[in-house]
Structure 1
Amino acid sequence: MFPLDWQKSSHSGEGANCLYIAAVPDGTVRIKESDDPRITIGVSQDAFRALIRGVKAGEWDDLV
């Protein structure tokens, strides 16, 4: 296994409930959260881009 360079979301601030992402050499993106950092999900770069576009467009604002 290779070490990943995890980056914390700039929207997480200094509090809990942080989201982390890392680019993987195989071209995928890994996502984990601070509640249980042992659990990660892997998605394609296209799926991650679609997620970010949806968040920025407010597609899931009604879930908050």
Structure 2
Amino acid sequence: MTPEVVSPYVKSSYSGQNNNCIEIAATADGGRAVRDSKDTSRPPLRFTREGWQAFVHGIENGTFDA
């Protein structure tokens, strides 16, 4: 069963005026749901708590820098 989204989706502060970004919401199991701000009708990507923490840690440490 897919964990329920338990908070409102929040748009990234990097989105600006163009609405070309993502929105993130908390899920009942402590994970996150991530959706495209341009097409909110599509199903969100879902991350477990551990997966989300690893993703954020990778961002903070430059893992995804080009």
Question: TM-score, length-normalised on structure 1?
Answer: 0.71
In structure 1, how many angstroms separate the alpha carbons of the residues matched to 2:9 and 2:65?
A: 26
Q: Write out the 4+ residue segments of structure 1 that deviate beyond 6 Å after TM superposition.
A: none
For residue 24 of structure 1, what is the aligned residue in structure 2?
27
Give 5+ residue unaligned stretches, structure 1.
none
CA-CA distance at 1:2 after TM superposition = 6.5
State the identity as a percent: 31
**Paired letter, 1:50:** A
User: Match for residue 57 of structure 2?
Assistant: 53
| Residue number in structure 2 paired with 1:15 | 18
| Bigger helix fraction | 1
Q: What's the C-alpha RMSD, in Å, of the aligned pairs?
A: 2.1
The structure showing larger relative contact order (alpha-carbon pairs under 8 Å, at least 6 residues apart) is: 2
Q: Is the 2:22–2:37 contact (alpha carbons within 8 Å) kept by the matching residues of 1?
A: yes
For the 8 Å contact 2:6–2:25, the answer to whether it is kept is no
Q: How many residues align?
A: 62
